Amino acid sequence: MHPSPVSAPESVLIPFDELRSLLQQIFERHGTSTNVAAILADNCATAQRDGALSHGIFRIPGYVSTLKSGWVDGKATPIVDDKAPGFIAVDAANGFAQPALMAARNLLIAKARSNGIALLAIRRSHHFAALWPDVEPLARDEGLVAITVVNSMACVVPSGGRSALFGTNPIAFAAPRAGSEPLVFDLATSAIAHGDIQIAARAGHSVPQGYGVDKHGQHTTEPQEILDGGALLPFGGEHGAHKGSALSMMVEVLAAALTGGNFSFEFDMRTHPGAQTPYTGQLIIAIDPSLTSGQNFADRCETLIAAMSDAGQSRLPGTRRYEQRKLSMEHGVPVDVARWRELLQLAEGQ
């Protein structure tokens, strides 16, 4: 552990492997199997490494309290059902979504290669993480185009509506590039992720108008008022929230109706005080771009990216993460000192 030269003075720089093994210890200490602990620790350390702070170590207390509450089964064994040439269903058995994905990953890749496309439909699963780690490796390591959606907990008012119904419902996309990191985006369909509203509330920052409403349905820029009985709004702003809302609806249809998981409004965590992880579903679509008719997919992507650059877009989605990843792997992963102490205590079982 070294003082950080590249981040705020109250941070320390932790080697990635050290962070990952501490997180693994925490997960195991608090009730997961070794396999689940390894998968979640890698996922969470990866998010912290890339500066995806709303889903890095910020989430660890929530994972721990959820495991303690009995809301999620940290030792669940996913059941993989090879339903059709292009369709795999996984019952996550009230466990986390990432181990369910890992259990079916090789089958998904094989089916995408033999059919050109394959779907992985996960149900009865808890997803409490960033979504890009679920698709980026399929593009980078397997050369597949991958799209995934997951629904969360009812905290977003549909466009024109009165009460929270949708989750923050992110969509992530990854496509391989020749000689570069994959092209990846990952975005919540709400104006802001729930994790970022919590971070803003904790830091005492206000948020822009149009992100959420208070418990009376009035627009507010105070994150705590959004959290205290208020709700988030779909992304798109005053004149475009119907578009965010439509995408959020699509996520509910694909991640819940199609998979057999819960809609974001269909479960109630209040029966398990401390529970924080949404109990829903996730869909992953994998496409083999080597079957593209006529033209080379990688070349076509480069043509598009060059045209975007010519048009003035200098920053691709994913670039910020790749840059932070490089820094983290060179110097260590920035972790707030107070949070690092908390992690050390949690690893001791406190």
Active-site residue numbers?
A: 54-55, 196
Which DSSP string corresponds to 310-324? HTT----TTHHHHHH
CB of 72 to ligand NDP, least distance (A): 13
Mask 212-251, x = binds ligand NDP (CB under 6 A)? ----------------------------------------
Q: Is residue 321 part of the contact set for ligand NDP (CB under 6 A)?
A: yes
Q: Which of 89, 101, 188, 201 binds ligand PYC (CB under 6 A)?
A: 188
Using the minimum distance from each CB to ligand NDP, give the nearer residue, 16 or 185: 185
- Please give the residues from 263 up to 322 whose contact with ligand PYC meets the rule CB under 6 A: 278
What helix, strand, coil percent values describe the chain, rounded to 5?
A: 45, 20, 35
CA angle 238, 189, 271 (to 5 degrees): 115
* Half-sphere exposure in the Cβ direction for 225 (13 Å, CA): 16
Residue 255 CA to residue 117 CA, distance in Å, equals 17
* DSSP 8-state secondary structure symbol assigned to residue 234: B
CB of 278 to ligand PYC, least distance (A): 5
Residue 249 CA to residue 165 CA, distance in Å, equals 10
Find the part of the chain contacting ligand PYC (CB under 6 A) among 103-111, 171-179, 186-194, 329-337. Answer: 186-194
Under 8 Å between Cβ of 264 and 278: yes
Find the part of the chain contacting ligand NDP (CB under 6 A) among 26-34, 164-172, 243-251, 303-311. Answer: 164-172
* DSSP 8-state secondary structure symbol assigned to residue 251: H
Q: Is residue 317 part of the contact set for ligand NDP (CB under 6 A)?
A: yes
- Please give the residues from 123 up to 152 whose contact with ligand NDP meets the rule CB under 6 A: 127-132, 150, 152
Using the minimum distance from each CB to ligand NDP, give the nearer residue, 130 or 213: 130
* DSSP 8-state secondary structure symbol assigned to residue 158: P
Residue 346 CA to residue 70 CA, distance in Å, equals 18
Where is 241: in which H helix or E strand?
helix 241-252
Q: Is residue 247 part of the contact set for ligand PYC (CB under 6 A)?
A: no
Q: Which residues bind ligand NDP (CB under 6 A)?
A: 52, 54-55, 127-132, 150, 152, 168, 170, 172, 185-188, 192-193, 195-196, 278, 315, 317-321
